[in-house]
Amino acid sequence: MNELVFVMVSSIALFVVLSFAMQWYMRFCLQKMLQKKHEWLDFIIDTSYVPLDWSKGNATKAKKGAMDAGQLERFNKKALAKYQRRLKKLIKYVRVSTLMESEDARRQVIKGLQDAGGQWEKGFGLHDAVDEYE
């Protein structure tokens, strides 16, 4: 009987410890995700470049020189589509985020992101950030 009580108490204690550990880890991951999104927002608005996390691999492939002009153009179109999708998700995040100071600040951030996306379509800032920070 004592062994059964010990096993039950140990199981409950283990469950409680694991619950707290999972809660801490989830909070840690959420904080990292939000921090990264806000870093991307600041970077895009300040520079109008594609964030380094998004473009590093693509910029390396584009600069290797193994592609002819047609391949490079198709590659850049695919990269731009990928960046635009991520930018759309970032704009959606800004629209629903409760972390914005005011509606005016929210509108300014969204306009800055849309302006940067428009510049990317013209070819500005696609892989430029990697050149500056290498």
pLDDT in tens, 91-112: 999 999 887 888 998 999 999 9
- The answer to whether position 128 is within a domain reads yes
- The answer to whether position 9 is within a domain reads no
Mean pLDDT computed over 114-125 = 86
- Is the distance from CB of 59 to CB of 127 less than 8 angstroms? yes
Higher pLDDT, 2 or 32: 32
- Is the distance from CB of 41 to CB of 90 less than 8 angstroms? yes
Two structure tokens written together for 96: 């629903």
- The answer to whether position 17 is within a domain reads no
Domain span at 96: 35-133
- The answer to whether position 26 is within a domain reads no
- The answer to whether position 30 is within a domain reads no
Rg (CA), the chain: 23
Domain count, the chain: 1
- In this structure, of 14-18, 26-30, 113-117, 118-122, the range with the lowest mean pLDDT score is 118-122
- The answer to whether position 99 is within a domain reads yes
**Does the pLDDT of residue 122 top 70, yes or no?**
yes
- The answer to whether position 64 is within a domain reads yes
- The answer to whether position 23 is within a domain reads no
Smallest CA-to-CA distance from 43 within 86, 103, 76 is with: 86
